[in-house]
C-alpha cells in the first residue's frame, strides 16, 4: 500500500506530516497541490486545508493526527516526553516568524505557486490578514534581530542534535517545522547547537531546508 501525502511545500503543518515518514523511513507519494486548487482538498475532506493523507482510498486531515497515525505503524519513535519550554519558545516566536515568512514564501520558487493564479491566490489571502507585504518587507531588520535573540535562548534547551529533549518526541516535529519556516528568512544567525539540530533533523527526516533560497 502506497500512502499519498497531499501538501504545499512551504506549509509548516505539511512539514510535520512529511517528517514522520522520513524519520521512520517509510515510503510515501509526495503530491504538491497548486495553492488555488480548492476543489481537490474540499472533495477529500470537506475543507481547503493541507496536509491530507490518503490511505486505502480514505482521507485524513490534520497534521498531528497524521503524525500519530503514521508513528503507530510499526514501532513508535516519538516516545520522549515533551518539554513545556519548547512549546513556550515556539509560541513566543510564532507571530514574528510568520509575519516575516509569508511575504518571502509568496515570492519563493515553490511548486504550489507554479502558476500566476496560484501565487496570486496565496498573496491575496495572506495579505488580508497581515497587511501589505510591501510594508513588512520594507523594514524587517528589527524583527530579524528579535528572532536572533530568541534563537540564543533556544540553544541551551537543545539536549542533542538528534532530538531536542534527548529522545525524539512531538517537540521535534513542532520545533523542526518552525525552524524549517525560519530557514526562508535571510539574516537569521543560528547558534551552533541550533544549527547542528536543524541540519541533523533535516537529514533524518528527509525534509530539506530553505537556506539556498532564503530572501
Ligand X SMILES: N[C@@H](CCC(=O)N[C@@H](CS)C(=O)NCC(=O)O)C(=O)O
Which residues contribute to the site for ligand X (CB under 6 A)? Answer: 8, 11, 13, 48-51, 62-63, 125
Give the nearest distance from C-beta 48 to ligand X in angstroms. 5
CB-closest chain residue to ligand X: 11
Q: What is the C-alpha to C-alpha distance for residues 173 and 196, in angstroms, rounded to an integer?
A: 16
Given the complex with ligand X, which of 45 and 137 has the nearer CB atom? 45
- List helix spans (H) across 132-187: 133-138, 141-154, 170-182
Examine residue 100 and say whether the peptide bond preceding it is cis (omega within 30 degrees of 0).
Answer: no
Given the complex with ligand X, which of 50 and 157 has the nearer CB atom? 50
Which cell goes with 205?
Answer: 527526516
Given the complex with ligand X, which of 11 and 158 has the nearer CB atom? 11
DSSP state of 157: G
Give the nearest distance from C-beta 113 to ligand X in angstroms. 12
- Asked whether 52 and 41 are in contact (CB, 8 A), the reply is yes
Number of Cβ within 10 Å of residue 110's Cβ equals: 21
Which cell goes with 74?
Answer: 510499526
Given the complex with ligand X, which of 106 and 157 has the nearer CB atom? 106
Q: What is the C-alpha to C-alpha distance for residues 138 and 176, in angstroms, rounded to an integer?
A: 28
Given the complex with ligand X, which of 51 and 161 has the nearer CB atom? 51
In the sheet that holds 29-32, the strands lie side by side as 29-32, 4-7, 52-55, 58-61
Give the nearest distance from C-beta 9 to ligand X in angstroms. 10
Give the nearest distance from C-beta 73 to ligand X in angstroms. 19
Give the nearest distance from C-beta 22 to ligand X in angstroms. 17
Amino acid at each position: 500500500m502506497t500512502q499519498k501525502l497531499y501538501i504545499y511545500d512551504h506549509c509548516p503543518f505539511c512539514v510535520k506530516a512529511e517528517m514522520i515518514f522520513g524519520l521512520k523511513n517509510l515510503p510515501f507519494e509526495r503530491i504538491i497541490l497548486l495553492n488555488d486548487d480548492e476543489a481537490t482538498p474540499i472533495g477529500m475532506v470537506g475543507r481547503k486545508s493541507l496536509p491530507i493523507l490518503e490511505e486505502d482510498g480514505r482521507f485524513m486531515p490534520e497534521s498531528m493526527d497524521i503524525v500519530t497515525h503514521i508513528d503507530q505503524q510499526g514501532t513508535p519513535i516519538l516516545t520522549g516526553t515533551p518539554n513545556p519550554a519548547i512549546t513556550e519558545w515556539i509560541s513566543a516566536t510564532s507571530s514574528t516568524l510568520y509575519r516575516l515568512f509569508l511575504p518571502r514564501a509568496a515570492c519563493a520558487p515553490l511548486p504550489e505557486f507554479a502558476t500566476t493564479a496560484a501565487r496570486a491566490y496565496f498573496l491575496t489571502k495572506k495579505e488580508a490578514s497581515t497587511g501589505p507585504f510591501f510594508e513588512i518587507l520594507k523594514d524587517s531588520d528589527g524583527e530579524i534581530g528579535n528572532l536572533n535573540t530568541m534563537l540564543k535562548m533556544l540553544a541551551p534547551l537543545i539536549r542533542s542534535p538528534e532530538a531536542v529533549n534527548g529522545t525524539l518526541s512531538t517537540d521535534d516535529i513542532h520545533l523542526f517545522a518552525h525552524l524549517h519556516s525560519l530557514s526562508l528568512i535571510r539574516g537569521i544567525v543560528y547558534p551552533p547547537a541550533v544549527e547542528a539540530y536543524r541540519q541533523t533533523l533535516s537529514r533524518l527526516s528527509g525534509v530539506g531546508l530553505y537556506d539556498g533560497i532564503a530572501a
